[in-house]
Amino acid sequence: MVLVAVQRGDGPAQAKRLAERLNSYRMFPDGNGRMNLDVNQAKGGILLVPQFTLAADTGKGNRPSLGRAADPETGAALFDRLVEEVRQRCPTVATGRFGADMDVELVNQGPVTFWLEVPPDSEN
């Protein structure tokens, strides 16, 4: 499961690079139990869920500021672009719906969660 937040300044280059990273990131165990396989090698799939609140600034006060999140039109377009990019690389892709009120269940196997980010000014 990938929770996706689109922030101001993100564009198609970030969607493409994040798709590359999601498909090639070695986070699944090999025969020796080491995180050494990517999603395709593990014969897995990717669930992309839009989650704009991950862009919230929680540094001050008792209410999150969502000023870092992209506007809804840009966020929806870049989420759709990310979905297209991921589908080009992974045969099994499911998605949530941008802007929808969704009930999503997750069984997190093990103590592993990663934050993958592709800042607009990065060359990664």
Q: Looking at residue 107, what is its pLDDT?
A: 85
Q: Is 52 a catalytic residue?
A: yes
Q: Looking at residue 108, what is its pLDDT?
A: 81
Q: Looking at residue 70, what is its pLDDT?
A: 95
Catalytic-role residue among 7, 14, 52, 79: 52
What parts of the chain have a pLDDT lower than 50? Answer: none
Domain extents for the chain?
A: 2-95
Q: Is 53 a catalytic residue?
A: yes
Catalytic-role residue among 7, 14, 28, 51: 51
Task: Say if residue 39 is exposed, middle or buried (CB neighbours under 10 Å; 0-12, 13-18, 19+).
Answer: buried
Q: Looking at residue 93, what is its pLDDT?
A: 97
Q: Is 113 a catalytic residue?
A: no
DSSP secondary structure code for residue 70 in this structure: P
pTM equals: 0.90
Give CA–CA dist 5/84, Å, rounded: 16
Q: Which CATH number fits domain 2-95: 3.20.20.70, 3.10.350.10, 3.40.50.970, 3.50.80.10?
A: 3.50.80.10
